[in-house]
Amino acid sequence: MLLPGGLWHKQQRKRDFSFKPVTGTLEFGIAEISGRGYAMPEAVTRILQLALAQLAGEVPTGQRIEELCIADRQFLMRELQLHLGDSETWYSQRCRHCNESFDFELDLRTLPVAEGDEHYPFVEVELDKLEVCLRLPTGRDQAELADKEEVEIPAVLLKLCLLTQSREVDVDAFIANLSQEELASIEKAMEQASPGIVTDVQVSCSNCNSINPVYLDPYRLLNRGYGNLLAEIHSLARAYHWSEQQILALPVQRRAAYLTMIDADRGMSH
């Protein structure tokens, strides 16, 4: 698996990454970070730093993870969700036409991923009078925007991503002078150049056949919580008298194998 965008390192675009093996420590850490009330970009950076073994040929630092484009971060969060084994393929949705609940099947692994083009992460836009060069927004930009008002975001983002050759250019004045059409062209060019994962699908209701838009949250992992983890630690600690740390260090398959054995013993004693 390769990142749809990637990071530049010594004139080379690097797209490889790998996650650490799944243990309770990783699952526990993700639940802890998610529950701590960070702004979303900060939570994503911390979770990815905890979960990645390697990023673009390097040890993953918070700084490098912030430099990833937004699509790469969304891609990694969804891949991490699958890596943890959360690969359910059935979803429930309430139809916005007939108001009945219906189920649909969707395998996140089959959704297409758009990769960055050869100019990645840069975008050139030809406007009437001039050519504008920008870079695609990163996790760091997203963190800067986290406390901004909705209406300010487009201008602030443009200022962050605009690359100017000369220092004499007054960026604020330049942005303020752009027409609505020019702003729209810039936005469209950035959208086209950006890699991306699918976050919106259309699903037809099994009751009334009408089409419903469904949002597939790329950051769904942030809502994972502890799941059964605490109950599993409890069962294992009671059966084997291992410490919490020893239990969390177990690879997830081994934890599951022990739990099956505990369940089987319990079944026999009844």
Which residues of the chain form contacts with Zn ion (CB under 5 A)?
95, 97-98, 205, 207-208
Nearer to Zn ion, 23 or 93 (CB): 93
8 Å CB contact between 251 and 23: yes
C-alpha span between 101 and 148 (Å, rounded): 36
The residue among 31, 68, 58, 59 whose CA lies nearest residue 47 is 31
8 Å CB contact between 67 and 48: no
Q: In 10 A of CB 74, how many CB atoms?
A: 21
Nearer to Zn ion, 201 or 239 (CB): 201
Phi, psi of 115 (to 5 degrees): -95, 155
Q: In 10 A of CB 168, how many CB atoms?
A: 6
Nearer to Zn ion, 162 or 214 (CB): 214
Nearer to Zn ion, 87 or 99 (CB): 99
Minimum separation from the CB atom of position 202 to Zn ion (A):
13
8 Å CB contact between 17 and 56: yes
Nearer to Zn ion, 95 or 236 (CB): 95
C-alpha span between 150 and 166 (Å, rounded): 30
Minimum separation from the CB atom of position 103 to Zn ion (A):
12
Which helix (H) or strand (E) segment holds residue 221: the answer is none
Minimum separation from the CB atom of position 95 to Zn ion (A):
3
Phi, psi of 121 (to 5 degrees): -95, 25
Question: What is the Cα 52 distance to its own chain's centre?
Answer: 13
Minimum separation from the CB atom of position 99 to Zn ion (A):
7
Minimum separation from the CB atom of position 106 to Zn ion (A):
17
Nearer to Zn ion, 36 or 97 (CB): 97
Minimum separation from the CB atom of position 209 to Zn ion (A):
7
Enter the tokens of residue 71: 């699509």
Nearer to Zn ion, 192 or 207 (CB): 207
Minimum separation from the CB atom of position 200 to Zn ion (A):
18
Q: 40-51 vs 70-83: helix axis angle to the nearest 10?
A: 50
